[in-house]
């Protein structure tokens, strides 16, 4: 079973190589055209505990890692990191079920995948005969950076540099990054916004590869963002876990369909749900929930993707995105046509838009529904869920909850609904406090305590002690100095 680029048949690699490389040389994403060929007994998986599910599913999707090895990697990756043994608990909220993906070390759902990616990467080095140290570079608008630092912290053979916009992240997000411990981690602020940081990182990759700047130095660059199949695959697991919970608590019988509502940005989370469906899990509709940046809502309703539109900074910043990278994988899986995908992606980069053929659009509509809501509706949803169900949700989850209600109203014959909850409310305390009708006073830390005082909901341990923790990373640099910063760091053996 080979992974191939979504844009040509020229690049075909093993699953371990796909994890190491991240992106194909032609800019495509390593994918399988169909998961239906994988020999997989979904009902047997539902009887396993979450970590055993993870080992089975990951080794089915990444066959270079035998089940026994994967079990060891899963146990190492998730050891003592999550609040509960089942990693991702479900909670009944009104008629719906909320799947809590934020009970990991940084209180965002990215922990689920970024706890596993370093394990998968270091094991892949051995399988591919790769001896260089891996230097991970990541630009972050907040959540990914911290989750990646935590995931790679003290993992042998790896180092990580996270670039964040100096004024573009919340005080809590910044504190999470600059206080991160670990001998192999570095956080560096950039004088510029997120796009500047992201472009800077892309330019470093290009310069290092074109000018062979690290050749013979024993260091290779890699990335931890969600285009890597090693980050996507671990996310498939929680769809099975949620379904098993619904069977076990009697909400559905084995074989009944369940609908999932997913707060969506880069399309990784929801695509994992499509993977679960392809592996045989009885998934009904996958509902794509967006904030005011509703490019995906329009696309899934019309078949036309158009990124030429205003960009809004919203209270659910992890979904503020106009080009959803992982959508490319879905288009490839639905069409099986790398030439078509290459042509659509080239239109997107040249003209800023594309339209999919009718047959492909119909297939999209068979599995997906979409909706969106703005900041005002998000806040209203936080208040409503709190008043009516005494459940405190973050802004991203609130977008999903609101869109779930739209979906149910528009589809009276819907299946039982699972809403994916992607962050702790304490990561976005100002908007959440306002949502429940209170006025924040003081800084973000005070707001956190205020939110706790009003609701009684516990503050996650990793956020509670943040203010007192020692700042370990002080670098603030100009965007044009990013390359020399990386080269200097790459040359230092001990940080």
Q: Which residues bind ligand PLP (CB under 6 A)?
A: 108-110, 143, 226, 263-269, 318-319, 396, 422-423
Report the nearest approach of ligand PLP to the CB of residue 427 (Å): 7
Contact 395, 428 (CB under 8 A): yes
Residues 6+ apart with CB under 8 A from 129: none
* CA-to-CA separations, 88 to 54, 73, 109, 229, 403, in angstroms, rounded: 12, 18, 9, 21, 22
Token pair of 344 as six digits: 């659509």
Decide whether 266 or 293 has the Cβ nearer to ligand PLP: 266
CA–CA distance, 458 with 175 (Å, rounded to integer)? 19
Decide whether 179 or 326 has the Cβ nearer to ligand PLP: 326
Decide whether 61 or 490 has the Cβ nearer to ligand PLP: 61
- Region for 41 from its dihedrals, namely left if φ exceeds 0, alpha if ψ lies in -120 to 50, beta otherwise: beta
Token pair of 398 as six digits: 């609130």
Decide whether 271 or 482 has the Cβ nearer to ligand PLP: 271
Decide whether 125 or 329 has the Cβ nearer to ligand PLP: 329
Report the nearest approach of ligand PLP to the CB of residue 12 (Å): 26
Report the nearest approach of ligand PLP to the CB of residue 374 (Å): 16
Decide whether 102 or 407 has the Cβ nearer to ligand PLP: 102
Decide whether 263 or 460 has the Cβ nearer to ligand PLP: 263
Decide whether 51 or 329 has the Cβ nearer to ligand PLP: 329
Report the nearest approach of ligand PLP to the CB of residue 8 (Å): 25
Decide whether 123 or 321 has the Cβ nearer to ligand PLP: 321
């Amino acid at each position: 079973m080979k992974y191939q680029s979504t844009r040509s048949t020229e690049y075909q690699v093993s699953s371990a190589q796909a994890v190491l490389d991240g992106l194909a040389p032609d800019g495509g994403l390593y994918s399988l055209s169909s998961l239906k060929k994988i020999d997989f007994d979904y009902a047997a998986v539902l009887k396993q505990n979450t970590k055993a599910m993870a080992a089975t599913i990951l080794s089915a999707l990444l066959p270079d890692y035998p089940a026994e090895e994967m079990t060891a990697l899963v146990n190492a990756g998730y050891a003592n990191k999550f609040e509960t043994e089942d990693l991702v608990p479900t909670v009944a909220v009104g008629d719906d079920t909320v799947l809590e993906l934020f009970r990991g070390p940084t209180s965002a759902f990215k922990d689920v995948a970024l706890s596993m990616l370093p394990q998968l990467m270091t094991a892949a080095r051995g399988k591919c005969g790769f001896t260089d140290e891996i230097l991970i570079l990541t630009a972050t608008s907040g959540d990914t950076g911290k989750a990646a630092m935590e995931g790679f912290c003290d993992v042998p053979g790896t180092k990580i540099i996270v670039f964040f916009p100096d004024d573009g992240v919340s005080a809590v997000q910044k504190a999470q990054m600059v206080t991160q411990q670990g001998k192999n981690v570095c956080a560096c602020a950039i004088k510029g916004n997120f796009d500047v940081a992201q472009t800077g990182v892309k330019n470093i990759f290009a310069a290092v590869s074109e000018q062979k700047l690290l050749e013979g130095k024993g260091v290779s660059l890699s990335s931890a963002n969600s285009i890597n199949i090693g980050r996507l695959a671990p996310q498939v697991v929680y769809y099975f876990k949620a379904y098993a919970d619904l069977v076990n608590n009697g909400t559905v019988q084995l074989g009944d369909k369940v609908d999932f509502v997913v707060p969506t940005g880069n399309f990784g989370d929801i695509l994992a749900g499509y993977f679960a469906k392809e592996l045989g899990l009885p998934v009904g509709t996958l509902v794509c929930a967006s904030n005011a940046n509703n490019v995906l809502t329009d696309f899934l309703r019309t078949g036309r993707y158009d990124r030429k539109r205003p960009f809004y900074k919203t209270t659910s910043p992890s979904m503020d995105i106009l080009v959803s990278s992982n959508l490319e994988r879905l288009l490839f899986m639905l069409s099986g046509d790398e030439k078509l995908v290459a042509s659509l992606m080239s239109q997107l980069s040249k003209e800023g838009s594309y339209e999919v053929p009718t047959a492909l659009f119909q297939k999209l509509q068979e599995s997906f529904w979409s909706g969106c809501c703005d900041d005002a509706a998000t806040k209203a949803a936080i208040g409503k869920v709190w008043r009516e169900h005494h459940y405190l949700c973050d802004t991203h989850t609130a977008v999903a909850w609101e869109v779930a209600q739209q979906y149910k109203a528009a589809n009276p014959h819907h299946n039982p609904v699972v809403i994916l909850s992607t962050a702790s409310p304490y990561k976005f305390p100002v908007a959440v406090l306002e949502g429940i009708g209170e006025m924040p006073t003081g800084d973000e830390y005070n707001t956190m305590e205020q939110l706790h005082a009003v609701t009684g909901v516990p503050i996650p341990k990793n956020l509670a002690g943040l203010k007192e923790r020692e700042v370990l990373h002080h670098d603030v640099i100009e965007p044009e100095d990013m390359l020399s910063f990386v080269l200097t760091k790459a040359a230092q053996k001990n940080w």
